[in-house]
């Protein structure tokens, strides 16, 4: 183990190849796309609220919600389908889009997006453009993710639940329905898909809130997410989330997510 006093300090937030103009570019990939179920809804969809679940606790809560209808799926070509089941499952590598209302065209419709696969930073902007501003134009967006310990400049304890938010300018100016949380501390950053989604909201002048929670797993965080969603959508039926809550009290087994086992 290296001596922390003499070892080289960690590099800045980039790789050395990011500083080289002449690195050979990787092969281009096919663009992601959204596949809507039959009958295909009239596009663009204009939900009053789009909620995107990225963190494990939020994915668990979404999966437990009753009365949601699968209306589409965002396909990322480089992500294999092997191991996925016909019926939506928490172990699937999918990005499904659900409606909480009877009709996706309802002006008060709510769409849920369960991001159960890894979206690389290089693909995040393409995915966020698909979810916001093209086939889906929401009035308001809430994104649920976890604090990224690698980018967080404060102290994170596995025994302490914490949550914070970032919001767009239009969300800050809204007088109703704002999420009541402290702001994410200055000096720390969030990257990846959740950052891309919030950025997209900001440049499109859409009300957007990114809520990050810690730790990444655990029943306390699940309870927090459940309460947060109930606060945002009072009519949401979260009773079923309680039933199997204790099954998620420990860290998810990493081997079940491995691509070696399909």
Partner 1 sequence: MLNIFILQCINIYYNIYRKKRVRAYCNIEVKLSIGNVGQLAVDLLVSSTGADRVGYLDDPNLLPCVGNDAYGPLPCGEIALPLERVLYESSSTATTLAQQRSPVAKVLHFFYLYNIADLAASSGKKHVIVLSSLDFQRPQHNLNMSRGPQVYYLSNAEASERDDHCERLGFGRLDEYDSEERCWKYLSSVFEENCKEELTFHSEDELEDIDYYPSLPFAALFSAFKARGLKVTCLLCYCSEGDNIPDAFFLAEAASKLTSLSPDKFHGGGKWQIPYSWKSMYGASPDMSMF
Does 31 sit near partner 1 (CB under 8 A)? Answer: no
**Residue 10 CB, nearest distance to partner 1 (Å)?**
8
The secondary structure of residue 141, as a DSSP letter, is E
Q: What is the C-alpha separation between 262 and 186, in angstroms, rounded?
A: 42
Instruction: Give φ, ψ of 251 to 5 degrees.
Output: -65, 140
Footprint on residues 142-181 left by partner 1 (CB under 8 A): 151, 153-155, 166-169, 172
At residue 176's C-alpha, the angle toward residues 230 and 51, to 5°, is 45
Tell me if 39 contacts partner 1 by CB under 8 A: no
Q: Please tell me the distance from the alpha carbon of residue 149 to that of residue 98, in angstroms, as a whole number.
A: 30
13 binds partner 1 (CB under 8 A): yes
Applying CB under 8 A, does 30 fall inside the site for partner 1? no
**Which residues contact residue 180 at a Cβ distance below 8 angstroms, ignoring those fewer than 6 apart?**
231
Q: In 3D, which of 128, 59, 125 has the Cα closest to residue 96? A: 59
Yes or no: say if 152 and 188 are a contact pair by the CB < 8 Å rule: yes
Total of residues contacting partner 1 (CB under 8 A): 57
101 lies in the binding site for partner 1 (CB under 8 A) = no
Q: How far is the CB of 136 from partner 1 (least distance, A)?
A: 18
Of residues 76, 95, 142, 210, which one binds partner 1 by CB under 8 A?
210
Whichever of 98 and 184 has its CB closer to partner 1, that residue is: 184
Sites of contact with partner 1 (CB under 8 A) = 8-15, 17-26, 28, 121-122, 124-126, 128-129, 151, 153-155, 166-169, 172, 183-196, 198-200, 202-205, 210
């Amino acid at each position: 183990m290296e001596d922390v006093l003499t070892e080289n300090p960690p590099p800045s937030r980039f790789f050395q190849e990011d500083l080289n103009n002449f690195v050979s570019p990787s092969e281009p990939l096919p663009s992601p796309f959204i596949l809507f179920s039959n009958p295909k809804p009239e596009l663009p969809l204009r939900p009053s609220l789009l909620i995107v679940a990225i963190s494990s606790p939020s994915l668990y809560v979404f999966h437990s919600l009753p009365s949601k209808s699968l209306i589409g799926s965002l396909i990322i070509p480089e992500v294999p389908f092997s191991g996925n089941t016909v019926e939506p499952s928490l172990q699937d590598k999918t990005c499904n889009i659900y409606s909480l209302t009877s009709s996706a065209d309802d002006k008060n419709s709510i769409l849920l997006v369960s991001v159960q696969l890894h979206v690389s930073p290089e693909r995040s902007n393409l995915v966020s453009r698909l979810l916001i501003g093209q086939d889906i134009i929401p009035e308001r967006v809430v994104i649920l993710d976890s604090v990224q310990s690698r980018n967080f400049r404060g102290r994170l304890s596995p025994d302490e639940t914490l949550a914070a938010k970032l919001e767009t300018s239009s969300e800050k100016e809204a007088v109703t329905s704002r999420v009541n949380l402290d702001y994410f501390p200055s000096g720390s950053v969030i990257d990846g898909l959740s950052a891309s989604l919030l950025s997209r909201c900001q440049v499109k002048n859409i009300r957007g809130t990114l809520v990050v929670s810690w730790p990444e797993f655990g029943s306390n965080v699940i309870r927090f997410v459940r309460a947060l969603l109930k606060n945002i959508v009072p009519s949401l039926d979260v009773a079923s989330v309680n039933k199997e809550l204790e099954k998620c009290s420990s860290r998810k087994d990493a081997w079940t997510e491995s691509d070696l086992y399909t």
